[in-house]
Amino acid sequence: MTGRAPNWKLKGYKSPEEYRAACGATRKTRRAAMAATKARNTTARILEKMWDQADFDKPRVTITKEQLMGLCSCSFWSVRSALKELRDEGAIKPVHGWEGGRGKATTWRLLVPGSSETPSELQVQLMEHARDRDAAWRFLSGKYGPMKALELMGDKPEDQDLD
């Protein structure tokens, strides 16, 4: 009997608790971002739809202007000016695909206006660092043994004799 792995495992988290913590932080960040923005009407609706379309556990969204037009029922020029306004305010930051154009998806990092980092982003970075460190430990200890792995990772073994 083969089944699909749970969502938290597919996304690379160690436990469902770690996954829930990242998702909870993203929800709090969304509420803070919507409260902090000065955007009104169409611009606020576009920001809200971007948060709706974002990854569940990270404040990032990959979306085209046409998709935003469809979600918000507004014109291309309204979307374009709203994205410019949100960029200037600091609510969104382009990450990938900034060249733009019609039909070209852009990846946006969603932020709380007035802050450079979101709480969920910081938490995700810490979890990714821990996962990377665990992966390095497994690889190095399997290849060189635990003592050499500790040395390579910059940690001193506790039971090492210093003569």
DSSP E strand boundaries for the chain: 60-63, 92-96, 106-110
Reading the block at residue 103, the tokens are: 């039909």
Phi, psi angle pair for 156, to nearest 5°: -95, 135
Q: Which residues, other chains included, contact 124 with Cβ-Cβ below 8 Å and sequence gap of 6+?
A: 22, 25, 57, 58
Q: pTM score > 0.75 for this model?
A: no
Q: pLDDT tens digits, the chain, 163 residues: what are they? A: 467 877 777 777 778 887 777 777 777 777 777 777 788 888 889 988 888 888 776 788 889 889 999 999 999 999 989 999 998 888 888 887 666 667 788 888 888 777 665 555 666 667 677 777 888 888 888 888 888 888 888 765 555 454 4
Query: Exposed e or buried b for every residue in 41-58, given b needs 16+ CB within 10 A?
Result: ebbbbbbbbbbeebeebb
Helix (H, G, I), strand (E, B) or coil at 93: strand
Instruction: Please tell me the predicted confidence (pLDDT) of residue 73.
Output: 92
Q: Which residues contact 3 (CB under 8 A, 6 or more apart)?
A: none
Q: What is the DSSP letter of 155?
A: P
Q: What is the distance, to the nearest Å, from the Cα of residue 159 to the centroid of all Cα atoms in its chain?
A: 39
The C-alpha angle with vertex 16 and arms to 58 and 59, in degrees rounded to 5, equals 5
